[in-house]
Amino acid sequence: MQPKVATDRQGGQTVWYDPALFHTFPPALFDPARLERDGLVTGRSTGRNTAHFFRHAGHEMVLRHYYRGGMVGRINRDLFLRQPVAQSRAMQEYALLDWMRGQGLPVPRPCAARFSPAMGLFYRADLVTQMLPGTRTLADSLHDAPPPEVWAEIGRTIARFHAHDVCHSDLNCRNILLDGAGKVWLIDFDKSARRPDGAWKQGNIDRLERSLRKEAASGPAAAPWDDAGWAALVAGHAQARAA
Ligand SMILES: Nc1ncnc2c1ncn2[C@@H]1O[C@H](COP(=O)(O)OP(=O)(O)O)[C@@H](O)[C@H]1O
Ligand SMILES: [Mg+2]
């Protein structure tokens, strides 16, 4: 659905939001402290950064602020060099999620995206998506030793994105969610985009493998590397690609 655009003339902020979810745009939406005060926060993810889970108008939603990685991120946590609004981080992710949902790909519904100009040359960015209920990350599921069928389904799901030329720029085991019904979802499409066919598809798989191997090596309590599981994922991906 075409997002509605709200602009705040004074602050220069631009917000895109789904008019089917919000009648008018709720200003508290991007303010974790305010959501907290209003008693709407239902949880937080504990990753490198914090995603805030909250309730709004009968929907469970997830608020994520965009942070910089790497060396630059140590000095400048969340400022990005100014871009046209439609090309900015949150708007790009909103638009890609919206397109993927239209194609029937398993991704969360985008709810709202924000572009906030800062310090002349920069902007900050935030995104709200609909929470995928009853899901856990693949990383968190590893302890239950997912059966080969689940691994194969992950491979097939990645192949569906690849068939739509969607390159996930950070395909790791925390950006893959599994629900109780065996359905696989991909999240976190920051800097992701559609691309012509190429070696990047194998690159996505290689990156996922590295993240899983890292997970398996992350201390005595780590779930061991699952050779058969990984083979099932690779086979599922290859079969779905060939089909
Ligand atoms: N729509 C969603 N539904 C359920 N959980 C989510 C959703 N979006 C994010 N999460 C959880 O929050 C974590 C962080 O979100 P993510 O979008 O990956 O941001 P980042 O990796 O940049 O912190 C995910 O690993 C997942 O556990
Ligand atoms: Mg992530």
pLDDT score at 10? 63
Same domain, 116 and 141: no
- Total of domains in the chain: 2
Mean pLDDT of 52-57: 93
Dihedral pair phi/psi, residue 232, rounded to 5°: -65, -40
- Cα distance between residue 107 and residue 171, in whole Å: 13
pLDDT score at 6? 80
Same domain, 18 and 125: yes
Same domain, 66 and 22: yes
Is the Cβ–Cβ distance between 128 and 206 less than 8 Å? Answer: no
Same domain, 110 and 180: no
Same domain, 152 and 211: yes
Same domain, 146 and 53: no
The amino acid present at 95, given as its one-letter code, is: A
pLDDT score at 75? 80
pLDDT score at 1? 67
Task: Determine how β-strand 41-44 pairs with β-strand 176-179.
Answer: unpaired
Q: Which atom of ligand 1 is nearest to the CA of 130?
A: 1
Q: Which atom of ligand 1 is nearest to the CA of 187?
A: 17
- Cα distance between residue 89 and residue 16, in whole Å: 12
Provide the Cα torsion 87, 109, 154, 70; round to 10°.
40
pLDDT score at 154? 98
- Cα distance between residue 187 and residue 93, in whole Å: 10
Same domain, 149 and 205: yes
Average pLDDT, the chain: 93
Same domain, 101 and 178: no
Is the Cβ–Cβ distance between 208 and 188 less than 8 Å? Answer: no
- Cα distance between residue 83 and residue 172, in whole Å: 27
Among the candidates 103, 130, 157, a domain finishes at 130
Q: Which residues pair with 63 in a beta bridge?
A: 52, 128
The two three-digit tokens of residue 138, written as one number: 């693949």
Mutate to test the pocket of ligand 1, among 54, 107, 109, 177 (most ligand atoms within 8 A of CB): 177
Which of 146-163 are b and which e, b meaning 16 or more Cβ less than 10 Å from the residue's Cβ? Answer: bebebbbbbbbbbbbbbe
> What is the domain-level CATH number for residue 173?
1.10.510.10
Same domain, 10 and 126: yes
Q: Pick the catalytic residue: 31, 78, 140, 170? A: 170
- C-alpha 39: how far from chain center: 25
Residue 7: pLDDT band with limits 50, 70, 90: confident
Same domain, 48 and 157: no
108 lines ligand 1 (CB under 6 A): yes
Same domain, 111 and 9: yes
Mean pLDDT of 178-190: 96
pLDDT tens per residue across span 115-147: 999 988 999 999 999 999 999 999 999 999 999
Among the candidates 95, 113, 130, a domain finishes at 130
Among the candidates 90, 106, 130, a domain finishes at 130
Least confident stretch, 14-28, 117-131, 191-205, 226-240: 14-28
pLDDT score at 9? 65
The question of whether 170 is a catalytic residue gets the answer yes
Residue 143 burial (C-beta neighbours within 10 Å; 0-12, 13-18, 19+): exposed
What range does the domain containing 54 cover? Answer: 4-130
Least confident stretch, 23-32, 50-59, 144-153: 23-32
Mean pLDDT of 78-87: 96
